[in-house]
Amino acid sequence: MGVVVPMEKGRPQAEADLNDLVALVADGMARVNTTILSRTGSEVTMIPEVASHLIASGGKRLRPILTLACADLCGYQGGEGAVKLAASVEFMHTATLLHDDVVDESDMRRGQVAARIKWGNEASVLAGDFLLGQAFRMMVEVGSLRALDILSAAATVIAEGEVMQLTAAKNTETTEDEYLAVIRAKTAELFAAACEVGPVLAERPRPEQAACRSYGMNLGIAFQLIDDALDYGGSSAELGKNVGDDFREGKITLPIVLAFRRGSEDERAFWRRTLQEGAIEDGDLETARTILRRHRALEDTVERARHYGAMARDALALFPQSPTKAALLQAIDFCIARAH
């Protein structure tokens, strides 16, 4: 089953990609990648092995791309500050993935065996800590106290989001507002911080900083909601992990929140057995997908994502037209179109 998202009238899906954005920041990202490679080095052999396993495994590096693009949008000229902050953002993201896989007991990440399977939970957690340390070293080197404040605050909020998710895990009574609070902290906060530090480096006024932050926050929420839908209606290639992992791990995501609220008592009993008690039997994933389809939970999750995408679009209205602004708007289409 695929989640079909009708594209906006007159907006071909071919537009909904990152090509323009990637091209605009290509030179900066080459420097970011060089910085990432140089900063994963350590005399402790296992650290670069574990870190490089995930860093070199692909991923679109959307968050550091956004850092460079928002800096460019606000007129930041050259300099290594944006490059180092973009690399810091990617290290923070990679560290959270390493930690997440341990907490979630995931076996696969970005289409390959998770680091925790290959090296163990302890090595994965400690390699993540190493990357966080390197990220903060680079932030200090940039010399912007405000940028350091934004990214360090984001690290705190992300950790809070992880704990909030643990609290909500397997709790079928989780509300939509409670779930959105989790993904704001766990996922969208880093998008927001990645975008906000660009105008900070460019020393732009607070309204422009707030606009970039709003863009990143709403884009991040939309991105996560599409991931939620893809876990039940996508493919492993789209997700970089096994389809149905959220279900097998007992994660309460927005499609489940909607289906539980709208379902019959028998359906609620099914969710309690599978997600709350972890008593999953053969065929339960397909049953879950059937229930989600019955209550339009996947389609409505995608509609929620489109709503947040529209707010991200509005956030950039403050800025004059430019190739960078157009490419940032196109990134919103890309995030939503992944569910097509």
pLDDT on residue 115: 80
Residues 6+ apart with CB under 8 A from 288: 232, 247, 270, 274
Q: Domain count of the chain?
A: 1
- According to DSSP, the residues that pair with 109 across neighbouring strands are 112
Query: 């039940």: which residue's tokens?
Result: 232
Q: How far is CA 132 from CA 20, 28, 119, 199, 316, in A?
A: 30, 21, 19, 23, 30
330 occurs within a structural domain:
yes
43 occurs within a structural domain:
yes
What is this structure's pTM?
A: 0.90
Structure tokens that stand for 50 in this block: 């574990």
Distance of alpha carbon 135 from alpha carbon 140, whole angstroms: 9
Distance of alpha carbon 65 from alpha carbon 82, whole angstroms: 10
3 occurs within a structural domain:
no
1 occurs within a structural domain:
no
19 occurs within a structural domain:
yes
- The angle at the Cα of 333, spanning 57 to 322, to the nearest 5 degrees, equals 100
Residue 234 maps to which CATH number? 1.10.600.10
8 occurs within a structural domain:
no
pLDDT on residue 167: 83
| DSSP structure class, residue 97 | H
Structural domain of 153: 13-337
Distance of alpha carbon 340 from alpha carbon 281, whole angstroms: 29
Structure tokens that stand for 82 in this block: 């944006």
321 occurs within a structural domain:
yes
Residues 6+ apart with CB under 8 A from 11: 333
2 occurs within a structural domain:
no
pLDDT tens, N- to C-terminus, the chain (340 residues): 444 443 333 334 434 589 999 999 999 999 999 999 899 888 787 888 888 877 777 678 999 999 999 999 999 987 899 999 999 999 999 999 898 888 877 776 766 778 887 888 888 899 899 999 999 999 999 999 999 999 999 999 999 999 998 888 889 999 999 999 999 999 999 999 999 999 999 999 999 999 999 999 999 999 999 999 999 986 545 545 567 888 988 899 999 999 999 999 999 999 999 999 999 999 999 999 999 999 999 999 999 999 999 999 999 999 999 999 999 999 999 999 987 6
